[in-house]
Amino acid sequence: MFYIWVVGIKEAYQSLAESIHPLYDLREARNIADLVMEKLTGWERSKRIVHADLQMTEDQQTKFDQFKYELLHGRPVQYVLREAWFYGFPFYVDEHVLIPRPETEELVDLIRKEQEVRLKLHEKKNILDIGTGSGCIAISLKKTFPDWEIWAIDDSESALEIARKNASALQVELHFNRINILHPNVDHQLPPFDIIVSNPPYIPEIDKQEMAKHVLDYEPHQALFVTNNDPLQFYKSIIKFTEEHLMRGGNLYFETHSSYAHQVAALMEENLFEEIEVCKDLQGLDRIVKGRRPGASL
């Protein structure tokens, strides 16, 4: 096959990093350029350094130009590449789902560490992920604990389609349901669960003015924002939901807004949860709230 050799790999990387630098700090611009070049070449940075002077193919150049155009218009690199890595796995993402965050990886890792201690006693568990989005939490847990039965629910059919696509690509079987957790007639055909986890919308609308333009312009607002007058509405509904669907001794895990973490913990205390703890993320912010429904230990 004949290729038209256009621009060298090193030259393309430098050009992209310099072009998007006005939109991002230099370190982030270089990280984005690395992601783009790895996607185009299939090579990690070390191999690209070895082949730095190798020129891109015409097809690679065409994709590079398109990626660069979209990045210069502020589109997040994960949406540009249709890929975000989470907990060591590649997930398809587009504007119908949030881009998975490192804080959510910390949530998954906390569940893994805590449940591994109990695994010898109870290897098979029923798990529910509320507001699954791309499926990153549910799928990562299933990859980590293959014997678990995991349900993933969301109010967005578009999000569920993406979650199903990711589950298929990563070769795991989950149970998907379209459910609006805020609806008073939420589906009660679901089984009882040993663990319920959720990263619900938790950013009050007033915070929009402080958020980066690329988040506001591209990520789905229904998965990000809640009303200013009731920023805890999802937590209230989920805690109410646990009354019938979280087993005695079962665990509830939340990702939260750092400003509301202790209020979420107070809600759990009001509803008689035990062993409630507010955990900080790697940035030192209150990010995860967890507790146990009273009753027999799992």
Contact yes or no for 188/244 (Cβ under 8 A): yes
Q: Which residue has the tokens 């949030």?
A: 98
Across-strand partners of 226? 204
Name which of 242, 204, 206 is nearest 226 in CA terms: 204
Q: What pLDDT does 188 receive?
A: 67
Same domain, 186 and 65: no
Q: What pLDDT does 229 receive?
A: 85
Cβ-based neighbours of 80, under 8 Å, separated by 6 or more: 36, 67, 70, 71
Compute the Cα dihedral for 285, 140, 192, 147 and give only its sign: negative
The answer to whether the pTM exceeds 0.85 is yes
Q: How many CB atoms neighbour CB 278 within 10 A?
A: 17
Domain that holds residue 114: 94-292
CATH number at residue 161: 3.40.50.150
Q: What pLDDT does 260 receive?
A: 96
Q: What pLDDT does 185 receive?
A: 72
Same domain, 99 and 53: no
Is residue 230 situated within a structural domain? yes
Same domain, 283 and 213: yes
Same domain, 35 and 172: no
Same domain, 277 and 155: yes
Same domain, 65 and 199: no
Average pLDDT per run of 10 along the chain, which is 298 residues long? Answer: 60 95 94 96 91 89 96 97 97 97 97 81 84 98 96 97 98 96 79 96 87 88 88 96 94 97 98 97 96 78
Same domain, 131 and 274: yes
Q: How many domains are there within the chain?
A: 2
Q: What pLDDT does 1 receive?
A: 36
Same domain, 172 and 267: yes
Percent of the chain with pLDDT over 70: 94
Across-strand partners of 292? 251, 274
